[in-house]
Structure 1
Amino acid sequence: MENEVFASFAFCSTFLILKMYIVAVITGQVRLHRKAFANPEDAMRHGGLQYCREDTDVERCRRAHHNDMENIYPFLFLGAIYSMLDPDPAIAKIHFLIFFLGRMVHTVAYLMALKAPTRSVAYVIAQVPCFSMVFQILYSLW
């Protein structure tokens, strides 16, 4: 890739998507371990309809994954557009790295039920570069 900014964006984005896949696998493993299945056919395969139920640990994993979708998908859009604006590569890398690290801490805090406000702070930190990119995109379009 010749565009250094887009290469940095692609690198961070790929790891964020990989993280989302890992959270999905963790969710599945917690379902199996806790015997808490969302669908009757899965419950039947693993012991009976009594295992078609909700579980707090499974729901925590699902919420972490859902939160990733609410935040990483917009980042993918914003980062791609932002990369086309020819920003300073060092500043762009900082944007992408802050978002990446914020989301990593957020996921760990969510899955491990870390003490508040760890998860909230990580969330806010990850939003800062997104808002910065939004403003820069809008400014360039203005």
Structure 2
Amino acid sequence: MMEGLVNVWDLEQFRCFSFYAILLLLKMIALAVITGQVRLRKKAFANPEDAVHHGGVQYCRSEPLVERCLRAHHNDMENIYPFLFVGALYAMSGPVLWLARMHFITFTAARILHSVAYVLALPAPTRSAAYVLAQAMSLSMILQLLVRYHWW
């Protein structure tokens, strides 16, 4: 083993990050399953072969609720994937545990609220506020990393 390397699993901050990262990935999987269920219930399939299998080519069509679920999932990919990278770097940088936990909990809660608000079409500004809150957590971690390591 190389001298000076730290096992990230020995860092409580990284274990904390990993827990919330797993919750976010499970949320994304759940949203994909919900999208599939809505497709089946609404009989709205993206591919002709799927439509034919479920009743006929006429079911190869778009459906507003399916499109809403897809937009929520796309937004997750634009926000959660960067969080996984930034959050891992942040956790490995050794921040104060309570502060790291606050960032991870807030980001996770905001992304869950964002998805619920998107799929259920909750009144504005619920979805936007959740989006901004999650982005603020990511930006805060990025800025802390820049300051800590003088990357400018």
What is the TM-score with the length of structure 2 in the denominator? 0.92
Alignment partner of 1:86 is 2:57: no
Q: Which residue of 1 aligns with 2:5?
A: none
Which residues of structure 1 form unaligned runs of 5+?
A: none
- Matching residue within 20, 30, 45 for 2:38: 30
- How many residue pairs were aligned? 142
Q: Which residue of 2 aligns with 1:76?
A: 84
Q: Which residue of 2 aligns with 1:9?
A: 17
Any residues of structure 2 matched to 1:1-142 within 5 Å, and which?
Answer: 1-142=9-150
Q: Give a deviation string over 1:9-59, Cα, whole Å, max 9, x none.
A: 000000000000000000000000000000000000001110000000000
Q: CA separation in 1, counterparts of 2:129 and 2:61? A: 32
Tell me which stretches of 4 or more aligned residues in structure 1 moved more than 3 Å. none
C-alpha contact (below 8 Å) 2:11/2:92 kept by paired residues: no
Q: Percentage identity across aligned positions?
A: 58
User: Secondary structure at 1:114's aligned position in 2?
Assistant: coil
Which residues of structure 2 form unaligned runs of 5+?
A: 1-8
Give 1:136 deviation, angstroms.
Answer: 1.2
Q: Aligned AA for 2:68?
A: R
Give 1:140 deviation, angstroms.
Answer: 2.4
Q: Aligned AA for 1:70?
A: E
User: Secondary structure at 2:123's aligned position in 1?
Assistant: coil
Give 1:74 deviation, angstroms.
Answer: 0.3
Give 1:141 deviation, angstroms.
Answer: 2.6
Over aligned residue pairs, what C-alpha RMSD do you find?
0.7
Q: Aligned AA for 1:50?
A: Q
Q: Give a deviation string over 1:42-101, Cα, whole Å, max 9, x none.
A: 000001110000000000000010000000000000001001111000100000001001
